[in-house]
Amino acid sequence: MADQQPQLDTVEKSKDAFLNLLAQLNDEQFHEFDSFARSALDEYHGQLHQHSHEDATNEDMEVEQHDGSFQPVNDLKMMRLGRMIKDLRAKVPMSAEAPGEKTVIPNTVEFSGFNDNNTVHVDGFLFSEEDVDELCDQGKMSRNYCLDCQSRNVAPLNFISHSASVLQLQFLYQVALANKVKDKVVVDVGSRLGAVLYSGHLFTRAKRLIGVEINEWFCELQKDMIRKYKMDDRVEIQCKDIQQLPELLSKQADVVIMNNVFQFFSELPIQQQIWKYIREQTSKKSGLLLVTLPSLQEQLKEAGLSSNKLMKGWVKEIKLNYDGGWFEDINEDELEEIQQVHLYKVI
């Protein structure tokens, strides 16, 4: 979701700041600072070790290999999805945000240095990397912003997407969930523009595809699209907070899809409350499949929760093969995109 550049910048700036601090000290002060710095580093090491230990035990979590199935999708379906994307581009602003929508840039390492001035929202479902390049060539979008408003002194903008890309959706349905959703009920938690639902209707024979979306503007948008493209035979929208629909998760759903639903949309305590609720409800249905982007481990950690503790006794991971040559001419960035998709089964 985020570019790596700001992280590198932060590391380089920290190194510089550290060396500057050292340069200010005389010999005596240096000794005192030296012992302080060593004990501070020891403490940080201890914390890091604890986290990596958690991750390692997470790795020990029960896992299963994916069965390697692949479900083709014909060109006509891809063209129909392409038409819907074109239509949506005309219906939503360039940033694909709802009027008055408030998103919070997370206060995490991944997004350090991101702020309203250097961050743009570009919807990954509506615009591929190639589309962004084309828009930049046409002068309708920029990849950089000016640091001092008068020169070539520019820095790269940070791009954030709130929807799954077409390639991620293809991987999700054609590989991760291949042959697993026929006659099943699929729930997309936080369905936004409806990307997961429209592609699910086109690519699969799911019995029902239910989008739950808290934002009314997006609910109306999706309902219009579903009517217009005659998808109401199998697609429906519930305009609610997911916390109001426990039985959807504990009884009705066979597959629950969650693409970074809460991180940009709620403060940490709410995110933690919702994750515990999701665990509680989905735990009631053994065999239920969860698809998350990015991994559940990452999302729980970003929410300030222990993935090790929460995932124990809840899910096992079904390891996916991202490198199976599923799609032609895939580049490194695209590989990274599909590597966001993870599959789990409730135990």
Which residue sits closest to ligand SAM, CB atoms considered?
A: 190
192 touches ligand SAM by CB under 6 A: yes
337 touches ligand SAM by CB under 6 A: no
| Binding test (CB under 6 A) with ligand SAM, winner from 171, 218, 275, 314 | 218
| Binding test (CB under 6 A) with ligand SAM, winner from 198, 203, 229, 265 | 265
Cis peptide before 294 (omega within 30 of 0): yes
Q: How far is the CB of 5 from ligand SAM (least distance, A)?
A: 22
Q: How far is the CB of 189 from ligand SAM (least distance, A)?
A: 6
190 touches ligand SAM by CB under 6 A: yes
Angle between helices 195-203 and 216-228 (to 10 degrees): 30
271 touches ligand SAM by CB under 6 A: no
Q: How far is the CB of 133 from ligand SAM (least distance, A)?
A: 22
| Binding test (CB under 6 A) with ligand SAM, winner from 133, 216, 224, 241 | 241
- Cβ contacts of residue 286 below 8 Å, gap of 6+? 346, 347
213 touches ligand SAM by CB under 6 A: yes
259 touches ligand SAM by CB under 6 A: yes
| Of 6 and 190, CB closest to ligand SAM | 190
Q: How far is the CB of 155 from ligand SAM (least distance, A)?
A: 25
| Of 58 and 282, CB closest to ligand SAM | 282
Instruction: With beta carbons less than 8 A apart as the criterion, state whether 289 and 180 touch.
Output: yes
159 touches ligand SAM by CB under 6 A: no
| Binding test (CB under 6 A) with ligand SAM, winner from 119, 162, 310, 314 | 162
Pairing assessment for the beta strands 255-259 and 289-293 based on DSSP bridges: parallel
| Of 213 and 317, CB closest to ligand SAM | 213
| Binding test (CB under 6 A) with ligand SAM, winner from 114, 125, 314, 344 | 125
| Of 198 and 314, CB closest to ligand SAM | 198
Q: How far is the CB of 298 from ligand SAM (least distance, A)?
A: 14
Residues that bind ligand SAM in the complex, under the rule CB under 6 A: 125, 162-164, 188, 190-192, 195-196, 212-215, 218, 241-242, 259-262, 265-266, 274
